[in-house]
């Protein structure tokens, strides 16, 4: 069921994007459309993956579905980032590999992708067993580093709207920081009734 919803969402999303891309007549701009869409998608999914746990805690709605949701979002983010990188290098950047290392915003994007790729690879129990990965948790905490690098990438890239970059990453940072706010202990119904009797 979850997989079906996921696949349907993915299909509708891609169809909408294709419809948007079809409206762009200049091939170079069409390529940019796909690059920007995949980039925003990757950033959005990554931020959602990072925020799932703190938000669920804050909303006091622990669910057994959370780990799988987080995993699905993370894998989708890595896949989107891979598509974003491949599209960029194949079209707009036209294979300018040297620039990836020399320009700060491209380097940040490449590093973010490397981190996400490592996380993606270690997101499958079979792969973790085969690679005998013991310290996967410290590795997966690098998702935060990937998000920071993605922020640098988006902020310095020439075509991203700064207002949106600051808005999206700012809201995500604020939401993530809520985990630092101590949660008050809630009283159970039985405690409440005993308090009212005394």
Partner 1 sequence: MRGLRLQLGLVLAASALWAALPHPSFAAWLGSYAVVWLVGQGVARAGWRWTLGRGPTLALGALLLAAPVGRAIEGWGPLLERERLDGVAHLTAARLRLERTPSVAPPLVSADRPQTFYLHADGDAVALRLGDGGPRLEATPLGHGLFRVAYDPRRDGLADPPDGALEATIEVDGEAHRRELLAVRPLPHPRALAPSPSRARAAAVSEETDELAVIDREGHLERVEVLDGPTDVAWLDEARVIVTHRYADAAIVEGDAVTPVDTGPLCVHVAARDGVAAASCHRALVVIEDGRVRRRALSFQPEHVAFGPADTLVVSSRQPPALHRLRLSDLEPDVAPLFLGRPAVTMAAEGGVAVVAVTDFRPDGPAHLGNHFVDDQLVDVDLAAWRPIAWHRTAARTARQRAPGDVDRGVSPLGVDLAPDGTRWVAFAGTDDVWGLRDGRAPTMIALEDTLPTPVSVAALSGDRIAVASAAFGAIAIHAASGRPIALARLAPDDATLMRDDEAALMRRVGERSFYESTRSGVSCQSCHLHGGSDGQRHNIGGGALVATLDARGALGTPPFLRDGGYPTLGSLDELARTLYRGYLRRQGGRRVGLDRWLASQPRPTPPAQLLGRDLARERRGLDAFVRARCGLCHAFPAFTNLGQHPAETIFPDFAASHAGYELDTPSLLGLGESAPYLVDGRAETLAAIFTDHDAARRHGYVEALDEAALADLLHLLEGL
Binding residues for partner 1 (CB under 8 A): 25-26, 28-29, 32, 92-96, 98-99, 102-108, 111, 114-115, 132-135, 137-139, 141-142, 145, 149, 152, 155-159, 161-163, 166
120: tokens are 């993606």
d(CA 92, CA 169): 25
> Residues, the chain, total?
198
Q: Of the two residues 82 and 152, which places its CB atom closer to partner 1 in the complex? A: 152
Q: Of the two residues 6 and 107, which places its CB atom closer to partner 1 in the complex? A: 107
DSSP line for 33-90: HHHHHHHHHHHHHHHHHHHHHHHHHHTT---TTHHHHHHHHHHHHHHHHHHHHHHIII
d(CA 72, CA 3): 10
Task: Compute the least distance from the CB of residue 2 to partner 1, in Å.
Answer: 27
**Residue 83: how many other CB atoms lie within 10 Å:** 17
The whole-angstrom distance between residue 89's C-alpha and the CA centroid of its chain comes to 21
Q: Of the two residues 6 and 92, which places its CB atom closer to partner 1 in the complex? A: 92
Query: DSSP assignment, residue 178?
Result: G
Q: Of the two residues 79 and 148, which places its CB atom closer to partner 1 in the complex? A: 148
Q: Of the two residues 161 and 171, which places its CB atom closer to partner 1 in the complex? A: 161
**Residue 10: how many other CB atoms lie within 10 Å:** 12
Task: Compute the least distance from the CB of residue 100 to partner 1, in Å.
Answer: 9
Task: Compute the least distance from the CB of residue 15 to partner 1, in Å.
Answer: 25
Non-local CB neighbours of 189 within 8 Å, separated by 6+ positions: none
Task: Compute the least distance from the CB of residue 170 to partner 1, in Å.
Answer: 12
Task: Compute the least distance from the CB of residue 13 to partner 1, in Å.
Answer: 24
Task: Compute the least distance from the CB of residue 139 to partner 1, in Å.
Answer: 6
Q: Of the two residues 17 and 148, which places its CB atom closer to partner 1 in the complex? A: 148
């Amino acid at each position: 069921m979850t997989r079906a919803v996921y696949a349907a969402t993915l299909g509708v999303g891609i169809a909408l994007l294709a419809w948007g891309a079809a409206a762009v007549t200049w091939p170079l701009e069409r390529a940019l459309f796909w690059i920007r869409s995949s980039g925003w998608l990757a950033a959005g999914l990554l931020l959602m993956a990072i925020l799932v746990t703190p938000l669920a805690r804050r909303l006091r709605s622990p669910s057994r579905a959370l780990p799988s949701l987080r995993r699905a979002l993370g894998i989708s983010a890595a896949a989107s980032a891979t598509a974003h990188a491949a599209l960029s290098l194949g079209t707009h950047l036209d294979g300018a590999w040297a620039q990836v290392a020399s320009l700060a915003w491209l380097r940040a994007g490449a590093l973010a992708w490397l981190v996400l790729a490592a996380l993606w690879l270690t997101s499958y129990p079979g792969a973790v067993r085969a690679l005998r990965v013991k310290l996967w948790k410290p590795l997966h905490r690098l998702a935060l580093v990937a998000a920071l690098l993605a922020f640098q990438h988006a902020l310095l890239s020439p075509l991203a709207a700064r207002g949106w970059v600051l808005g999206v990453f700012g809201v995500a940072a604020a939401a993530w920081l809520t985990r630092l706010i101590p949660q008050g202990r809630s009283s159970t119904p039985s405690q409440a009734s005993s308090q009212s009797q005394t």
